[in-house]
Structures are given as C-alpha cells and as structure tokens.
Amino acid sequence: MKNLLISTAFLVGAFAAAPALAGDVLDDILSKDQLICLVNPNSPGFSVPDSEGIYQGFNTDFCRMAAAAILGDAGKADIRGIGFSDSMKTLVADGAHMASRSITATGTRDADPGLAFVATTFYDGQGFMVPKSLGVTSAADLNGATVCAEDGSTTLLNIADWFGDRGIEYRVENIADKTARLEAFFSGKCDVYASDVTALLSDRLLSEKPEAYTILPEVISAEPLTLVTQPDQALEAAVFWAFQVMINADQFGVTSKNVDSIVADLENQPKAVRRLFAEDSATAEMADKLGLPKDWAYRVIAQVGSYSEVFERHLGKETPFGIELKETANALTRDGGQMYAYPIR
Amino acid sequence: MIPPSAPPPQTTKLRALDLAVAAGLTALLLLAVVNIFLNMSAAGIAPGYGFLVQEAGFDVSESLIPYQPDDTYGRVILTGLVNTIFLAGVCLVLSTAIGVAVGLTSVGPSPLGRVLALGYVELFRNLPKLLVLLVLYVVAVNGLPHVRQAVSLGPVFLSNRSVNFPVPELDATALIPMAVLCAGLLFCVLRSRSRWRKGIVADWKERCLQFAVVLGLPVLCIPVFAVHVGVSVPELKGFDFKGGGRISLQFAIIALTLGLYHGAQIAEVVRGGLQAIPAGQTEAARALGLKRWQVIRLVILPQVVRIVIPPMNNQYVNLIKNTSIAIAVGYSDLMSVTGTIINQTFKPFEMMLITMGLYLGLCTFLTTVLNRFHRRLTERETR
C-alpha cells in the first residue's frame, strides 16, 4: 500500500510544482536561516514528540544533522510531523526542504523528478526468527515449517516469493492480532516468525526468554530507509556528506564527547581525522564550494554525534528497543554491516 | 377477548410521498456514485476489476479448494469465501446444538441445570466476542502441548497447532460403492415416502431391509470390484505432522468461540419460544400418556420451531458476519484475503463492493431459505 500511496503522491505533486533548479533549495535554506524537515508524527524510536512537543528520535537527528551542516546550528531544523503521503506532496510542492521518515528507496520512486533520495540511514529487511532449540541455522532448512506473519502485510508476499522460488513447503499463519501472533510464536504453534529485522529484534524482547530466540542470516527483502530532499545538487551533496562525516567519525572513533579534545590535539591524530576537522582540510574546501560553515563537520559531530551515537541514543541497548547495532546491517562494513565510510578528501 | 388491531392492509399502489422518497434516495445514491468516481479519477485511480485475473502472490493459512500463491486474485477470493462458508456452517450447527440444549435446560425441572444455564447465557452474551476469542486462543496455544509432545489418543494427535487424525485414503475405484450408497439412500427415501402416504407403519423387517440396502450393498461392492481401501495416518515428520486429516487450532477456537457466543443467544431465543407454548399443551400431552421426551419431541418442539425461526434467522445472519473476527487469530476467511488484496492492489473500492456483495448474497440466501421453511410450516398450521 505504501508503494501506491507514494506513487499517487508523486503523481499529484508532479502537477503541483515544477522541480527546483540546482542550488535554489540550499539558497532558500540559507536565506530563511531555517531548514524545514518532515518526520513521521508518531514513530517511537524514530520520531515522537517529547513532553515539550519537540520531536525526538533516530530520524529526527538527521534533520538536526542537516541543519548543523548547512546552518551551523542543529537547533535551526524546523521539524514537522506529517503523514506519509502528505509529506511527499509537501516536499514536491516546495513546502519543505527534506524528509527523514523511513522511506524505502526504490527505483520507480527515485525515477520521479520531484524528489531525490540522498543517503540511506537505516538498512532494514525482512527476516526470520526461530527458537534456538529448533537447531535451524539457515532459512533453507525450514522445509515443512509453519511461519507466523502479520495478516495483510507485504511480508506475506515476500515469504510466498522466497519459499516458492526455492520450492520449500511451508504453512503460513497470517494473524492480524499482535498478541495472538506473538503468543503463537512463543508457544511454538509457529516454528518461525517473519517480519522486518528491526521488528523481530524489538518483538523478541517481549518474550520471557529473549535469549532463547535467534534471527536467521537470510534477509529476504531489502528496505533501505533513505533521506529524501528536494532535487538540488548542492543540498544533496551537503546532506550526503554530512551523513558520511557521521560514518567516518565511527570509523575513526570520534564522538560528540571526545571531538573537542581531538580537535584540540589534531596534530597527533591519524591523517583521515585531520582531513575531517583541520582548517585547510577537505571539509573546509567542500564548505567553500557548497556554501557551508567552514567547520561544518565539527558542528555535525559536536551537536548531533556520530552515527552509532545516534543509533545507540534512540534504538540501542539502553533504550526500550534494545537493538544491538552490530547485529544489524547498519554496522560499519568492518563489523559485517553495510555502513561504508566514503573517503573525505 | 378483543383481538389486537391488525396492521393496515398492504397495497401495491404508490402514493406521491412514496415517489418523492424513492426519487430522493435515488438522487442521493447517484450523487454518491458520481462523487466517488470523480474523486477517484482526480486521484488518478481508474476503477476496474481487471486485477482479479492477476497473480495473487500470497499464501493462505488453510484452504478447502486447491490454491497456490501463483493463482489469481479471483481464486483467492473464492478460497476465502469457501473458508467463510465452511466456518459459518460448523458454527451454525454447534451454536444451534448448544443453544437448544441450554434453552431446554433453562426451563427444565433441574434447579442446578437452570442456574448453570443462566450463568452460561449471562457470561457469554455479555462479553465481547473478540475478547473471548483472544482469551481462548492464548489459553489454548499456551495450554496445549507443542507439536513434538502432541498428546496421542490412539491415532488421533492433539497439539497447540492442530488436531490430526487418520482419514480413509481413496482413489477413483471408491466412486463405485459411493454411487451404490447414494442410490440405496434414494431408494429407501422414496420407498418410505410412498409407504408413509399409504399409511403403512415401518416395522422391524422393513428397517432391516433398508439397512441392508444402504450399508450392505456398498460393502459388498468392495471385494467384488476390488476397491482400493487405505488409511492415511498422521505421522510426525520434520516440523509437523504429515498425512491424515487436520483441523487447525485457530479453526477449532473460532468455532468454539462463536458456538458459545451465539449458543448463549440462541438459548434465549429457544427459552422464549418454549415459554410461549401454553402450559396446557404439555398437560394435555401428558394426559394422553406421552412420555416427557415424547411431549417435547412431538408436541412442544414443532410449535417452538415455528416461533423461533424469525429470531433465529437474525442470529444466523449475525453469526455469518461474525465469522470475520477469524482474521485476528489467522484463519484465512473472506475478510482476511480481502484485506491483503486491498493492501496489495490498492483497489479498496472494488474489493469492498465484492466483499459486501458476497456477504450480502450469503446472508440473503440463508434468510430466504429459512423464510420459505417458516412459510411452509405456518401454511401447514393454517391448513
């Protein structure tokens, strides 16, 4: 359904406004001294208003990242909660500069001239969870198994495709009620629970013995959740490389807590770190060309933090979600994930 | 005694007011339809049913007709409809059996029985059915053993997934004894009817003859035509039982929930019907020397049936619609497949019309049958 909503939104938006010219959107942000960023109004962990009505969450922090990089102040992000299809229309109709709201990047969406997919902040995908006692290590061993999944969801389609392609027999339990679904899985009525990996990780915590369940290595669908901006080459570059600064920070162990001491002692840092923060560095040259504050990379890390910091703050071990970053595709490539630090030079 | 005032006689002549109301309703309906189509075309959605022949691409929890994910949407709708009809049929029988038994108990001679019947009725008609369903489901999946520790009652296995039982394994040769069985049944029914018209009472010789025809002849066919007779027994292989018949836990739980829920309401309908029969009828029947059970069977129930059919009609229609709660616990009924299809094709308008049409057709069919039956019974009474 999401697919269709977004394409409909694009269709409507396409008539509403012509795409902006390169540079215009970034100029607009600078002249207004404010970056309008759209988020989901209620998505725990990703974007929810706190007790003072200010949006907090994983996705929200990438709005703040963009504001810190472009305007030098994360607080200048004007974060607005808005529904999925309305947010697309708003963006295309020039009512906002960017959106950070778990949008899956797909070919047909990106082919539309009204929007630009910039940087994937979260790699999700549909996976399988099984009790460890089953002794299964791969989804290929699931011949004859019973699979629990949410009724009406695209999960059902992905399962049918995946098992059908491999000629593996299975029985589906398409249960609409979440309590019934989880009880069915935890009691062993189903052998397997299929859902997005992030959902599996958080649902596992609802069991009395979370350690008794394991997530199989197969991820059968790709859901790259990606930042979207109005098309503008300069804005896209600014947002993409701001995100890369956060990934590079993880690669070289820079966080919001140690960034000040690292910058104060830059001569004794590895060359890659010097290139991030020094006055005559690659980031400073980029700032000149894109019209960003000279120390934008420092500001992003100091005000928002590195990627893993943002992840841990909203979704990590200390949060109710309890997701172990290194167990997901969002770990750095050196830890087996897909977050690849591009060279900033 | 003054007879109650009769309702005004029904006529087929239309008056100005009738015409005005009809015109107004038609205009409203047209406005709604035009509005829907305009809004859909403005949003770039072209209404149409072409998607019905496209591949569905998703699986269902169980199906009574052969179904694969690469079958069409039309096929999966049929699968859901058949599942709904089967579930409704089982619930209908179960709730009627429970309702009649409890209804009889609630006016019966036993004070304990009356209290229990009252307690049951009050409990189940005052709880939301979805809550009852979820409670029973959660209790059953946690209370019953895992499939690997399935309780075996001979060749029947019970686990928190399903009840697995042996079924006869038949091939094409089995059609011969089946055809003979059908022919035998038909013969006996026709014979009994003609004898009954002539006023001949069936004696034990006649019963033996009919029994021999119905059962003896088909059994005789088995060795004569070398009919293949096998049994498919469930066996635990890999993750689950293979072979044999299977009733899924969710099906059993939904049937139980709706059986209990509507059983309570049907019990009240039956009690009302029983209490509408004047006590003099029972007394007269007893005075004629009929036993208690005979009084119920021959005198009370035939009259009760006439009284309770209209309210039962209502119950049955509600029951058919209530099977849609099955979606909560994973039984692929009509509503479940409809929801998935809407999510995939984004054809909510078309799918809702189809689903509404199917439920409407199903319920109208049942009410028509029951109304006909009721009319025949009342005609017989007035004859």
Domain extent listing, chain A? 2-124+224-329, 126-221
Residue B361 Cα, gap to closest chain A Cα (Å): 24
Contact assignment for A174 to B238 by CB distance below 8 Å: no
Residue B196 backbone dihedrals phi, psi, to 5 degrees: -65, -35
Question: What pLDDT digit, counting tens, does each position of A288-308 carry?
Answer: 999 999 999 999 999 999 999
Residue A77 backbone dihedrals phi, psi, to 5 degrees: -80, 120
A11: nearest CA partner in chain B = B44
Chain A residues touching B243 at Cβ < 8 A: none
Mean pLDDT of A224-228: 92
B335: nearest CA partner in chain A = A152
For position A3, what pLDDT does the model report? 45
For position A234, what pLDDT does the model report? 93
B332: nearest CA partner in chain A = A174
CA A229 from chain centre, in angstroms, equals 14
A153: nearest CA partner in chain B = B340
Q: Is residue A10 over pLDDT 50?
A: no
Contact assignment for B57 to A154 by CB distance below 8 Å: no
For position B337, what pLDDT does the model report? 92
Q: Which of B76, B79, B161 to mutate to test the interface with A (most CBs of A within 10 A)?
A: B161
Q: Is residue B264 over pLDDT 90?
A: yes
For residue A81, give both structure tokens.
């909660």
Distance CA A103, CA A223 (A): 9
| Confidence bin at B90 (pLDDT 50/70/90) | very high
For position B1, what pLDDT does the model report? 46
Question: What pLDDT digit, counting tens, does each position of A115-159 carry?
Answer: 899 999 999 899 999 999 999 999 999 999 999 998 877 788 899
| Confidence bin at A177 (pLDDT 50/70/90) | confident
Question: What pLDDT digit, counting tens, does each position of A44-100 carry?
Answer: 788 889 999 899 999 999 999 999 999 999 999 999 998 776 787 788 888 999 999
Please determine whether the domains at A2-124+224-329 and A126-221 fall in the same fold group of CATH.
yes
For position A184, what pLDDT does the model report? 94
**In this structure, which CATH number among 3.40.190.10, 3.30.1540.20, 3.40.640.10, 3.50.50.60 belongs to the domain A126-221?**
3.40.190.10
Q: Model's pTM, two decimal places?
A: 0.73
Instruction: Give the start-to-end residue ranges of the domains of chain B.
Output: 51-149+248-382, 172-228
| Homologous superfamily assigned to B51-149+248-382 | MetI-like (1.10.3720.10)
Chain B residues touching A166 at Cβ < 8 A: none
Question: What pLDDT digit, counting tens, does each position of B230-256 carry?
Answer: 888 888 888 889 888 899 999 999 999
For position B3, what pLDDT does the model report? 54
Terminal-residue alpha carbon distance, chain B = 24
Question: What pLDDT digit, counting tens, does each position of A256-272 carry?
Answer: 999 999 999 998 999 88
Contact A121, A246 (CB under 8 A): no
Chain A residues touching B238 at Cβ < 8 A: 143-145
Distance CA A233, CA A236 (A): 5
CB burial of residue B368 (10 Å; 0-12, 13-18, 19+): exposed
For position A129, what pLDDT does the model report? 95
Residue B137 Cα, gap to closest chain A Cα (Å): 7
Q: Is residue A1 over pLDDT 60?
A: no
Contact assignment for B45 to A189 by CB distance below 8 Å: no
For position A21, what pLDDT does the model report? 41
ipTM: 0.76
| Homologous superfamily assigned to A2-124+224-329 | Periplasmic binding protein-like II (3.40.190.10)
Distance CA A45, CA A215 (A): 21
Contact assignment for A146 to B137 by CB distance below 8 Å: no
Q: Is residue B214 over pLDDT 60?
A: yes
Buried b (16+ CB within 10 A) or exposed e, A123-157: bbbbbbbbbeebebeebebbebbbbbbbbbbbbbb
Low-confidence winner among A146-160, A283-297, B108-122, B261-275 (lowest mean pLDDT): A146-160
Chain B residues touching A164 at Cβ < 8 A: 69-70
